[in-house]
Amino acid sequence: MKKLIFYSAIISLGMFYSCAGPEGKKANIGEADTILANIEGADKFTIDTAQAMVEWKGFKPTGQHNGTLAIKSGTLYMKENTPVGGDFVLAMKSVKVLDIQDPEYNGKLTGHLRSADFFDVENHPEATFVITQIVRSKESKTTYNLTGNLTIKGITKSVGFVADVKKEGDNFTASTPEFTIDRAEYDIRFKSKKFFNDLQDDFINDEIALVIKLSGVKSQ
């Protein structure tokens, strides 16, 4: 009986929930850019997919879930020590839930995230991000205001956030502070108050918190 009660709670909580909500800065989201970053004459760096990842958190009034997404492939272009462009591909079937230890309940939630209620990975197995603009921040020589086209479920939006990029010899590392995107912009409707008016407290926050971590080596 206790397992049945717990299972029902997990299903009702779904993917995204937290009593506090996301702490990261909200990303700037707009219409997709048509002009891409100029990478002519830049050195190409290949992302190490064994080390790179995207960490996610999802929220609801009563708690939260967190996990990871694997990066399938990607590149970063740099001129001297300055990033000028790049892209990466997310393998959406790789979504993992890290906060649920019970294999059965973990599998149920993971399967739900892969379903049409959320990321519909059978029809949209990949998400992509392509940099359109990079501007050095005044805060630090290695901090950049980065803008790019993020495509999820076949929907492309321009997304802006901050990233720290460092180059040492033929290697680079890049990471972001926690930031949030609005899942409703990508037609992820499950228990979203932007699509349903009768949810009361049984809703899932539209904000997904993300942290991107990349590393790689110069291509020969």
CATH number of the domain within which 139 lies:
2.40.128.110
What's the mean pLDDT in 121-133? 98
Residue 204, pLDDT above cutoff 90? no
The confidence score (pLDDT) of residue 9 equals 41
User: Rounded mean pLDDT of 123-134?
Assistant: 97
Mean pLDDT taken over the chain: 89
Confidence band for 21, pLDDT divided at 50, 70 and 90: low
- 48-56 average pLDDT score: 97
pLDDT at res. 199? 78
Using CA atoms, how far apart are residues 45 and 64, in angstroms rounded to an integer? 35
Domain limits for position 152: 2-218
* Separation CA 49–CA 58 (nearest Å): 24
Q: What are phi and psi of 164, to 5 degrees?
A: -105, 120
What mean pLDDT comes out for the span 30-57?
A: 94
pTM exceeds 0.85, yes or no: yes
Tens of pLDDT, residue by residue over 170-190, are: 999 999 999 999 999 999 999
pLDDT tens, 142-176? 999 999 999 999 999 999 999 999 999 999 999 99
Rounded mean pLDDT, 82-96: 97
Report the pLDDT value the prediction gives residue 105, as an integer from 0 to 100. Answer: 94
Going by C-alpha positions, the residue among 77, 206, 182 that lies closest to residue 134 is 77
| 3-state percent helix, strand, coil for the chain, nearest multiple of 5 | 15, 50, 40
Considering its fold, how many domains does the chain have in total?
A: 1
Query: Which residues, including other chains, have CB under 8 Å from residue 189's CB and lie 6 or more apart?
Result: 117, 195, 196
Which of these, 149, 165, 166, lies nearest to 157 by C-alpha position? 149
Cα distance between residue 54 and residue 66, in whole Å: 11
Q: Which residue has the tokens 């680079």?
A: 172
Q: Is pLDDT of 133 > 70?
A: yes
- Banded model confidence at residue 8, pLDDT cuts 50, 70, 90: very low
pLDDT at 194 over 60: yes
List Cα–Cα distances, 170 to 46, 49, 78, 214, in angstroms: 10, 17, 11, 14
Instruction: Provide the pLDDT for residue 196.
Output: 84
- In this prediction, residue 6 carries a pLDDT of 42
| Residue whose structure tokens are 């059978």 | 122
Q: Residue 4: pLDDT band by 50, 70, 90 thresholds?
A: very low
Whether the per-residue pLDDT at 220 is higher than 80: the answer is no
Question: DSSP readout, 66-110?
Answer: EEEEEEEEEEEEEETTEEEEEEEEEEEEEEEE-S--SHHHHHHHH
Higher pLDDT, 214 or 81: 214
| Tokens read off for 181 | 């995107």
